[in-house]
């Protein structure tokens, strides 16, 4: 018996998503069918809609999601039917050059199949009502009532975290908190600067707080986002539109610069600010993206003195370890997620949600499904 469901489909960059009836492919032995209950609207989805990230189309976007396991393939041991799960967008083969070196984010299978927007075995997860091919973004394609994933992508979390909060863990929160805890390895009493206070930056602020940083300087151009950063743990705030963030960081640290800077703004000015504000020997983590063909200029002197610069896509996520930890941190009151949700919308209002994200009004709009 075939499963039909509604999904938001992008046919061409620059056009609105269309809500369509699609048909799920049969489950492969290691597949899991998830009934999607909530999916966040992330900047990476917007980049595909606006055309700066190019994928084959038509495609279902959405890569930050939570839901309930509806069915599992014959070889699946974990998760189980009925589990509440947060979805990871980084499946990995476990035995290639990079997997062997502990870098699942560079898995060769992941990097080959990802741009084609198909599963590892080359299949599409669903097709259009007229039988036409349908791709899925980042091994998910979660803007629909259902989503087929590999078993390793569906990570069981406690039942008592609400789906609209849980979904944020799948991309933005993992990336930001992971940048602080896994990548920058912030320690107790460190001074940290976070450049850009959207969902990822606010999560980095919280990661720095969880790590015990003594000073956390939040930098943004929007006072409302800076207020939110303050509530989430920033000790200092700088509106870079009216104040020099690098001078502020130096003043706070006897002229040295801060121990670590996490960037989540995605602008040349932001990248430059990070290397100027960090101290000699300090850690810089870049999370933001700009068009891959663009160049960014740096003052050479700012790159010297043993500074370490890392670009990270997913905060060195180990979903099976990190997702349940983050969910529990929320339940314990240590990780703030409620405040990140700007709007809850139905699938039919998804284009309005992307307009709000494009204009900078939204931290996170979340599509919620019955």
Q: Which positions touch Zn ion (CB under 5 A)?
A: 42, 44, 92-93, 96, 99, 107, 171
Cβ proximity to Zn ion: between 92 and 279 the closer is 92
- How far apart, in Å, are the Cα atoms of 50 and each of 44, 62, 187, 214? 10, 14, 38, 39
Least distance to Zn ion, CB of residue 20, Å: 23
- How far apart, in Å, are the Cα atoms of 298 and each of 228, 274, 310, 334? 30, 10, 15, 37
Least distance to Zn ion, CB of residue 245, Å: 25
Print the SS3 string covering 205-265.
Answer: HHHHHHCCCCEEEEEECCHHHHHHHHHHCCCEEEECCCCCHHHHHHHHCCCCCEEEEEECC
Say which residues have a Cβ less than 8 Å from residue 118's Cβ, sequence separation at least 6.
Answer: 124, 135, 136
Cβ proximity to Zn ion: between 155 and 217 the closer is 155
Least distance to Zn ion, CB of residue 96, Å: 3
Least distance to Zn ion, CB of residue 44, Å: 4
**Reading across the β-sheet that carries 215-220, which strands appear in turn?**
236-239, 215-220, 191-195, 258-263, 278-286, 308-311
Least distance to Zn ion, CB of residue 138, Å: 8
Per the CB < 8 A criterion, the answer to whether 208 and 215 are in contact is no
d(CA 260, CA 277): 9
Per the CB < 8 A criterion, the answer to whether 32 and 147 are in contact is no
Least distance to Zn ion, CB of residue 170, Å: 8
Cβ proximity to Zn ion: between 91 and 257 the closer is 91
Least distance to Zn ion, CB of residue 104, Å: 7
Cβ proximity to Zn ion: between 248 and 286 the closer is 286
Residue 299, number of CB atoms within 10 A of its CB: 10
Cβ proximity to Zn ion: between 107 and 277 the closer is 107
Residue 247, number of CB atoms within 10 A of its CB: 12
Rg (CA), the chain: 20
Cβ proximity to Zn ion: between 33 and 137 the closer is 137
Cβ proximity to Zn ion: between 36 and 96 the closer is 96
């Amino acid at each position: 018996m075939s499963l039909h469901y509604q999904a938001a489909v992008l046919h061409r960059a620059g056009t609105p998503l269309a809500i369509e009836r699609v048909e799920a492919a049969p489950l492969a032995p290691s597949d899991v069918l998830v009934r999607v209950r909530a999916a966040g609207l992330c900047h990476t989805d917007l980049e595909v809609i606006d055309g700066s990230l190019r994928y084959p189309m038509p495609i279902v976007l959405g890569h930050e999601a939570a839901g309930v396991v509806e069915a599992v393939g014959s070889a699946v041991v974990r998760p189980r039917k009925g589990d509440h799960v947060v979805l990871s967008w980084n499946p990995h083969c476990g035995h290639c050059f990079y997997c062997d070196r502990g870098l699942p984010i560079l898995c060769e299978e992941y990097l080959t199949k990802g741009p084609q927007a198909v599963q590892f075995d080359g299949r599409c997860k669903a097709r259009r009502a007229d039988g036409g091919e349908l791709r899925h973004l980042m091994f998910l394609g979660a803007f629909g009532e259902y989503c087929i994933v590999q078993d390793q992508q569906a990570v069981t979390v406690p039942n008592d975290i609400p789906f609209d909060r849980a979904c944020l863990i799948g991309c933005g929160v993992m990336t930001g908190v992971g940048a602080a805890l896994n990548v920058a390895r912030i320690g107790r009493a460190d001074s940290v600067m976070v450049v850009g206070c959207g969902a990822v930056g606010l999560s980095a602020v919280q990661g720095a707080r969880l790590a015990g940083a003594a000073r956390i300087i939040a930098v943004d151009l929007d006072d409302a986002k800076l207020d939110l950063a303050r509530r989430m743990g920033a000790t200092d705030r700088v509106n870079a539109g009216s104040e020099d963030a690098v001078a502020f960081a130096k003043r706070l640290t006897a002229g040295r610069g801060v121990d670590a800077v996490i960037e989540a703004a995605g602008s040349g000015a932001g990248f430059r600010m990070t290397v100027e504000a960090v101290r000699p020997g300090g850690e810089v983590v870049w999370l933001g993206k700009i068009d891959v063909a663009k160049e960014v200029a740096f003052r050479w002197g700012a790159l010297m003195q043993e500074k370490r610069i890392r670009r990270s896509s997913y905060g060195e996520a180990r979903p099976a370890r990190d997702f349940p930890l983050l969910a529990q941190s929320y339940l314990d009151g240590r990780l703030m997620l409620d405040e990140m949700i700007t709007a809850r919308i139905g699938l039919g209002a998804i284009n309005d949600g992307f307009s709000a994200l494009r204009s900078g009004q939204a931290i996170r709009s979340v599509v919620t499904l019955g």
